[in-house]
Chains A and B, each alone.
Chain A
Amino acid sequence: MNDKDIRKAAEKIRLSDEKKQQIIDECVKNIDNTDLNGEQVSGVERVKSRPVMRFAAMAAACAVIIGGVGTTMHFMSRNGTAPAQSSEVETHVVMMPFGDFVDMYYWFIGGRSENPDDRLVVGEYLNTVEWRSTELADINTHADDIPEYIIDINEDDRHKLIMIYDDGVAACGELSPDFDFDPEVVFTQKVFEDAPVTYYKIHYPSFDEQMLAFEQERNIKIKNSNGTLVPVEDLEMLDVTNMQYELAMDQLMQSGFERVEYRNQQSDEIPEGYVISSDPKPGEVVPSDTNIMLYVSCGATDDIKVESYIGLTADDASAMAEYYGLKVRTLDNGGDDANRTVTAQSIEAGSVVPVGTEITLTVGMVNDLDLDFDLPDENVRFVNYKNTECPFILSKEQRDKLVSAIELGCYESVSSEDINGMVNNVSPEEQLGFGAYCLDWNDGNSWGDLTVFDNGIVSYDREIVGGEQKLEWYRIDASYIDTKIRSILGWSEGYCPFGTPYKTGLSYNGEALTGSKLREVSNAFFGWDWSKAEAVDSFLGETPTYKFTYGAADIGDVVINVYSDGTIEWSIPDSGVYRLTDADGDASNANIDLINQILDDILK
């Protein structure tokens, strides 16, 4: 299947002539018979007013306004050709007095938008609005009223405001150059002071309807709620628990909360710098000027959370327990000196105890399985962590430790019949969705993978080239192996799929980062949500905002590109290119915040 196949197939899809005629008939029937102000006009065969003609030059537009109401122009067909004699009539056309909204910098006072596309989309609509010059005697000028909408056009730091009221009157004036944009100012026409004000009229019902549609569809704020720069609105408190605190504060400010503070608290569970809880709680609806308090972890107390040491060798278990401050006593339960593992511990994993507490580790026989997974010594890849593809070649030491941990951790084998009920013969790609960790290899003599699933099932699938395939299933303690994997790979402080930059070193634009800058950039990487990263065919081919590289001896140079829209892509030699955007394909706003605020602060 190639591109031409798609095009050729699509060309066969056509509307019938009969259907086209139905559409034409329906269009003619459906054209509106009302004038701009919604009044029925009798005695005249009328249809909807002409669409507005757009002019790039303000001068041309002003010239038409000077011509005043009732200016007559010949109707041109949509593509600028002269009208056919038989079917066109002369018409009044309302000229666009402000210029091309698509080309100018404007937004709405009291509005909110995070996407530059919003300005373009709304601007294209504003260009179609008919602004009709009007005599003051005919209208209520609303001199003291708060408008429904306030468009602020910013040209060379001069602000022209268009205040739109609910009867369609629009008042346009310019602010003085030293106008103070104080959040307390209420925007009535008083802000124009002595500057001249020009009045227009628009069809307010359709304008209001379209603006509200934009608000809903694009999740933005346009309509003015109380005439001030930053209106108070009710907002739902975000769930920022377990989020890096600076990112949490940025997200809350971006969503409209004005006052966000934090306080440090000790926590054994939440890493330092991450949010433990918030006041108000997630989901609570509060005014946007509420004081938001975040409780941020400043690290562990002097108490220790006991890990699981089951399945570890006596030496490993003792070293780990002592490292965390426990006093270790071992109880010998028989067996050879070599390959003895911990089979029981006197304090249950997960318990919190003071530093210096004694723990007794019972050391006994290895499990009866006596597994020996036959993986090559070199070029074994770690393919994915949970839902993130992050293939990189394991060092010899990492390979040995991981394989040993899995071998020792498996405590029973499982039959294929039992597995079918649990894993349902899903494809490898779907298996990744189960939150697996996967090691794979292909060294020309054999290929295979050793996969650990979230539910504690292990699959060992191997084929010798020219020989038979071996597929075996085992059970393992899922939380034990998760702890082991993260510990062996050095991911205890956080996770990013291309390793631990602050340990391996990181260069920015070719120069090595050091000290706090290196640490802070690494921490920024740990803050992204890597679970949504996916493999792609190639880099975007555009110039990134930030370019990092680092070299891990066993895998070569890793390149990391970070773009201004929040897209992050990286390549791992012999493994491929990966890209992080959110589930919809747009770079997540969280990434943009990190780039714009954190990386900017760190690196520039």
Chain B
Amino acid sequence: MEGVEIMVSEDLIREAVENYADDLYRVCLVMLKNTADAEDAVQDSFITYMQKAPRFNSSEHEKAWLIRVACNKCHDMIRYRDRHSTVSDELLESYFVEESDSAVIDALMEVPEKYRIVLSLHYIEGYKVDEIAEMIGRSPSAVKMCLSKGRKKLEEKYRKGYM
């Protein structure tokens, strides 16, 4: 049987990185709260893209697929971090909290993890409830609940810490 002989173009990878890397990075940074991990997650997402991506119907479909992969990578990293942490909470806190130029983004990073992804997909990336539900594998009502509660938490954090 013949094998497959292809050359995947560097142009294709470059195009995908130029189009989507910033969006992925924003989502990963809010989820992981530090640049090093966020960069790793973005890189892993593009490697997965090259290895496993299906044919896409549109650039929106392609972006949504990448963001979903990035969310999964972030979840895996957070779980790994939780299970293998051997440093003190204080040291972790100082390492992991990344100060941004924006108070609102800092407040977003302090919101509990389960709300952060929904908030960033909705408010930063502009996805609608049903789109977010499909991307993260939850029901639309769960997404609405997370948005509502997450928004309240975000406002509380913003007011307490930054006003």
Residues on A facing B (Cβ under 8 Å): 1, 3, 5-7, 9-10, 12-15, 19-20, 22-24, 26-28, 30-32, 35-36, 41, 44-54, 69-70, 75-80, 84, 87-89, 91-92, 117, 120-121, 124, 127-128, 132, 134-135, 138, 218, 534, 536-537, 540, 542, 563, 565, 567, 579, 581, 584-587
Known: A13-B105, A27-B47, A128-B54. A91 touches B4 (CB 8 A): yes
Known: A31-B51, A87-B7, A91-B6. A537 touches B148 (CB 8 A): yes
- Which residues on B sit within 8 Å (CB–CB) of A7? 123-124, 126
A196 to chain B, nearest CB (A): 21
- Which residues on A sit within 8 Å (CB–CB) of B120? 10
Q: Name, among B8, B11, B49, B59, the residue most crowded by chain A CB atoms within 10 Å (CB to CB).
A: B8
Taking CB atoms and an 8 Å cut-off, the chain B residues in 122-147 that contact chain A are 123-124, 126, 134, 137-139, 141-146
* Whole-angstrom CA separation of A19 from B119 in the bound complex: 26
Interchain CB contact under 8 A, B149 and A585: yes
Partner of A49, one of B6, B18, B53, B158: B6
* Whole-angstrom CA separation of A135 from B56 in the bound complex: 31
A55 to chain B, nearest CB (A): 9
Interchain CB contact under 8 A, B141 and A567: yes
- Which residues on A sit within 8 Å (CB–CB) of B16? 78
Interchain CB contact under 8 A, B7 and A41: no
Majority SS at the chain B contact face: helix
Interchain CB contact under 8 A, B141 and A87: no
A128 to chain B, nearest CB (A): 5
Majority SS at the chain A contact face: loop
Partner of B5, one of A13, A91, A120, A124: A91
Partner of A13, one of B12, B29, B154: B29
Q: Name, among B21, B101, B141, B142, the residue most crowded by chain A CB atoms within 10 Å (CB to CB).
A: B141
Interchain CB contact under 8 A, A587 and B139: yes
- Which residues on B sit within 8 Å (CB–CB) of A567? 141
Known: A31-B50, A48-B51. A13 touches B138 (CB 8 A): no
Partner of A15, one of B22, B49, B59, B138: B22
Interchain CB contact under 8 A, B43 and A89: no
- Which residues on A sit within 8 Å (CB–CB) of B18? 20
* Whole-angstrom CA separation of A14 from B158 in the bound complex: 22
- Which residues on A sit within 8 Å (CB–CB) of B8? 31, 47-48
- Which residues on A sit within 8 Å (CB–CB) of B67? none
Partner of A12, one of B2, B46, B101: B101
Partner of A586, one of B49, B50, B138, B148: B138
Known: A24-B14, A585-B138. A47 touches B55 (CB 8 A): no
Interchain CB contact under 8 A, A69 and B1: yes
B108 closest partner in A (C-beta):
A6
B94 contacts the other chain (CB 8 A): no
Which 5 A/B pairs are nearest by Cβ-Cβ distance? A9-B102, A87-B9, A49-B4, A10-B124, A6-B123
Interchain CB contact under 8 A, B56 and A134: no
B71 to chain A, nearest CB (A): 12
Report 17 cross-chain contacts, Cβ distance below 8 Å, ordered by A residue.
A1-B154, A6-B105, A13-B26, A14-B25, A19-B39, A20-B18, A32-B51, A45-B7, A46-B3, A79-B62, A87-B9, A91-B4, A138-B1, A581-B141, A581-B142, A585-B145, A586-B138
Partner of A53, one of B12, B22, B42, B55: B55
Apart from A10-B26, A20-B18, A120-B134, 16 more pairs, CB < 8 Å:
A1-B155, A13-B22, A19-B39, A23-B43, A47-B7, A47-B8, A48-B51, A54-B54, A69-B1, A78-B12, A78-B53, A84-B11, A87-B10, A88-B9, A89-B7, A585-B145
* Whole-angstrom CA separation of A357 from B86 in the bound complex: 62
- Which residues on A sit within 8 Å (CB–CB) of B59? 79
B75 closest partner in A (C-beta):
A217
B78 contacts the other chain (CB 8 A): no
A269 to chain B, nearest CB (A): 35
B111 to chain A, nearest CB (A): 11
- Which residues on A sit within 8 Å (CB–CB) of B62? 78-79
B17 contacts the other chain (CB 8 A): yes
- Which residues on A sit within 8 Å (CB–CB) of B77? none
Known: A31-B50, A69-B1. A75 touches B100 (CB 8 A): no
* Whole-angstrom CA separation of A36 from B10 in the bound complex: 22
Interchain CB contact under 8 A, A121 and B137: yes
* Whole-angstrom CA separation of A70 from B4 in the bound complex: 9
* Whole-angstrom CA separation of A135 from B126 in the bound complex: 49
Known: A15-B21, A50-B4. A3 touches B54 (CB 8 A): no
- Which residues on A sit within 8 Å (CB–CB) of B6? 46-50, 75, 89, 91
- Which residues on B sit within 8 Å (CB–CB) of A91? 4-6
* Whole-angstrom CA separation of A5 from B105 in the bound complex: 9
* Whole-angstrom CA separation of A24 from B46 in the bound complex: 8
Q: Name, among B4, B5, B50, B62, the residue most crowded by chain A CB atoms within 10 Å (CB to CB).
A: B4
B6 to chain A, nearest CB (A): 4
- Which residues on B sit within 8 Å (CB–CB) of A134? 1
Interchain CB contact under 8 A, A5 and B3: no
B43 to chain A, nearest CB (A): 5
* Whole-angstrom CA separation of A1 from B102 in the bound complex: 12
* Whole-angstrom CA separation of A377 from B49 in the bound complex: 67
B92 contacts the other chain (CB 8 A): no
Interchain CB contact under 8 A, A534 and B53: no
A137 to chain B, nearest CB (A): 11
- Which residues on B sit within 8 Å (CB–CB) of A128? 52-54
Known: A3-B123, A79-B62. A23 touches B137 (CB 8 A): no
* Whole-angstrom CA separation of A9 from B105 in the bound complex: 7
A538 closest partner in B (C-beta):
B148
A45 to chain B, nearest CB (A): 7
